[in-house]
Chains A and B, each alone.
Chain A
């Protein structure tokens, strides 16, 4: 039982470490292949507005760093007009921005799932892999665009691997259509966005180029992304998977180590006399240690080898996602060696740990050990708890408690394992609970409201905004509403170069934010920035920044506050600045409804009235923005719960069996004295449940504190977060589930007490 449990934990830990390293190797190799095949651009400026290509060409010609330049025109199709596969609903509620493009001629190729350049005929379409996975689309399925007098149907002939927009966290996606179809679409769609793409001679010059571009007069209102950032984005999804797998394997390894500690301490205690005898007859402590070590070398070596070999066979499970999004990798000798080194690492850690635990052998004195032969056993101290003066009514409970406190090194280890189990259950749950709570909006750089209207960049954006604003003023169902305008400015950074900064302006007092430091900007010379921005710019409350408008007017603003925001890559700012109409990027209107007004009905009404803008219920906005993450986390919560219960049951069973075997003589004595087995069972229940309670309390507290810190470290854009705890689940549902399963395990294990040979207690 003990050996099997240990074997399983080491095997799983090795399997996961090998798997995670395999993912890393595959990830980088696949990404390299994709980036080469796609000839990914080194610098891209997204831009919506009037474009002067001649100006770009001049810049390109004058810039020796640039090898090639192309401008890609993307036709933005509103989700409301787009129907994918058999899905009867349009993409109106999706946060994905879908664009239609032609295949590029020079570089930034859109590839199929074999990494070949996509070539589509009339009526055919290449659909992003993201949509394929999301909707289970297959080749031959249809894509429809229905808008007023336009009705186009495409047949899917390829799925698009897009080096730029592959990752799920990138909300823009590119569909590839034939030139003729693209022209037809262009005639019906006014929303055009450009990707001004540059390919450099040397990718290492990208930072220098970026600085040059940003200080030029070329378009800068829009997101700019460089090659390094693409790689990070592409690696992020699978990188998180690697991090999670690594975390679980570290956990399993920790449990395996605790099991080893548990069994080694118990074995040393049991063999206390024998160790004393061996020392007394002159066997060196090194030799004695080797005797004990041999068993663990064999177990951990076999388990590590098995874990590694299994990882080779099921490696494709780990790397399936990478193969889909990034394509196949080149198998090199390192593809096997690196995972093997991971397995070796696990084995090495276990050996090292055994050596540390076995140091206890050095502390055993042969005289002490031999002295114990007189009384059949090793030394236990009864100090502290005396039955004759005990406050606990039930002697069985007393005996249980006493065992825990007189051998705390043994039970403490078990307590740590339970702590880990409880932490494992609570941490993802607390994070999920926090993410799904309405208060989480404050971490997204927005105050709490009921409905949010997004007016994206378009020619008539300003008039649409005014029209909606007027409608809202007249709407009796509304308590409050405010419009926030985001415009582009240039910020002078520490190096004296200018970089684009998007600043949201408006009245922030209506839907107030929670600020980490300081307050909202309340005058034209103040600005609040997101915590990630503050960190990047090395600014704190009270510091000053200089901003330039596009017509070169300069403003010096002081930082009034720092807030948390995970949207727009965590880099946002708020102020009350004047803005030029042409600098406006988008509008957001937040609305608070009067009590009793249905948010869903109101959202439908606005959607009907203003089909050209995006109207979202705030709860929906949250779940859409965090959608994937919340779904994944919900799955992790379930898996973590199951894993924690399995670990707790296995460890309890192992520990119980070990204790019963070790203490069969003591049980025999009690049985002979007339103490019923039921009472003896109560003693064991008391011991383990005491340890479980201790572990539970510490586990819940750790999840609330350390877990919170871990979550902050994992989520970009948040530097401080307070978990929203569900006390019923954390302090009742989880502990009770553990107590029940652990109790059943103890009762099941202790059923074997009467079957053990407790007869006779006679010494031969």
Chain B
């Protein structure tokens, strides 16, 4: 399998004041293959989110290198990184983070219009298809304050997918949802992965991580261990996978 993302000796130091600094990421090595579904877990303050933002080009690492599709992105200019994020990466956050002066359909198509790779009609049609797949087609003319939290998170997923990204990053994408909405969102992500989209999630929810293929455990800014669960398919016993994961996490000290 081809490596989509490779991280070598990644370090992030944050200066708290003149005399004090804190090392959030400590010499991290990581590699993700194309089509993989990887989850990063760990206690609060372990550096999960910082790692996600550093490898996705949203935050600059202090040292170390990040390779995306074989290209070193850790030293790229801000404009270059923006172009990579726009064209090859998708993001879903804990809150839907939609632009509040756009309606639901416009929020989804905006990155497509910005990328200017295809005609507007093609982008709008793809957005409508994504909305149908995620079950929110009926909301296309709605304002964002006219949808529920679960629906908005699906809108965010559609937006992340509008440019057909190589990888989808998720930062606690189900963190603000109830269990029914969490199941719905995760089913969508699993289907996407089965269709070939690489996914890297940060979560502290074992039930969510149980649907991924590989789980990394982080503590004190370093990856302390890894659990391979194998590809999850709809209908697999998610509870059994979750139990397996919980046992491993307990051993890791989670």
Contacts and interface: CB of A to CB of B under 8 A. Distances in A.
Given A375-B152, A388-B124, A679-B114, A673 B85 contact: yes
Interface in B134-180: 143-145, 149, 152, 159, 171-172, 175-176
A763 B114 contact: no
A676 interface: yes
A678 interface: yes
Interface string B6-37: 00000000000000000000000000000000
Contact of A676 (B49, B82, B159): B82
Interface stretch (A89-97, A223-231, A350-358, A753-761): A753-761
Given A374-B149, A406-B101, A672 B58 contact: yes
B78 A672 contact: no
Contacts of B49: 760, 762
Contacts of B159: 673
Contacts of A670: 99
Contacts of A595: none
B148 to A, nearest CB: 8
Contacts of B176: 763
A109 B179 CA distance: 100
A379 B103 CA distance: 12
B92 to A, nearest CB: 10
Interface string A378-402: 1111100011100000011000001
Interface in B88-103: 89, 91, 93-103
Contacts of B39: none
Contact of A674 (B87, B98, B144): B87
Interface residues of B, number: 46
B172 A395 contact: no
Contacts of B229: none
B171 A762 contact: yes
B172 to A, nearest CB: 7
A49 interface: no
Given A672-B58, A674-B85, A761-B95, A375 B111 contact: no
Nearest to A679: B114
B254 interface: no
Interface string B46-59: 00010001000011
Contacts of A760: 49, 53, 171
Contact of A387 (B79, B83, B102): B102
A380 B114 contact: no
A387 B113 contact: yes
A539 interface: no
Contacts of B113: 387, 395
Nearest to B176: A763
| Of listed A378, A387, A677, residue having the most chain B CB within 10 A | A387
Nearest to B88: A674
B79 A678 contact: yes
A372 interface: yes
A666 interface: yes
A723 B174 CA distance: 67
A388 B114 CA distance: 12
A396 B152 CA distance: 23
B47 to A, nearest CB: 12
Contacts of A379: 145
B89 A674 contact: yes
B110 A387 contact: yes
B169 to A, nearest CB: 10
Contacts of A372: 145
A380 B143 CA distance: 9
Nearest to A676: B82
Contacts of B91: 672-673
A759 B102 CA distance: 22
Given A371-B145, A388-B105, A675 B99 contact: no
A255 B99 CA distance: 31
Given A375-B144, A376-B100, A387-B113, A674 B95 contact: no
B106 interface: yes
Interface of B: 49, 53, 58-59, 78-79, 82-87, 89, 91, 93-103, 105-106, 109-111, 113-115, 120, 124, 127, 143-145, 149, 152, 159, 171-172, 175-176
26 contacts: A377-B100, A380-B100, A380-B101, A381-B101, A381-B143, A382-B101, A386-B105, A387-B102, A387-B105, A387-B113, A388-B120, A395-B114, A402-B101, A666-B99, A669-B97, A670-B99, A673-B86, A673-B159, A674-B83, A674-B87, A675-B82, A676-B78, A677-B82, A760-B53, A762-B93, A763-B176
Which 3 pairs between the two chains have the least Cβ-Cβ distance? A674-B86, A674-B85, A387-B106
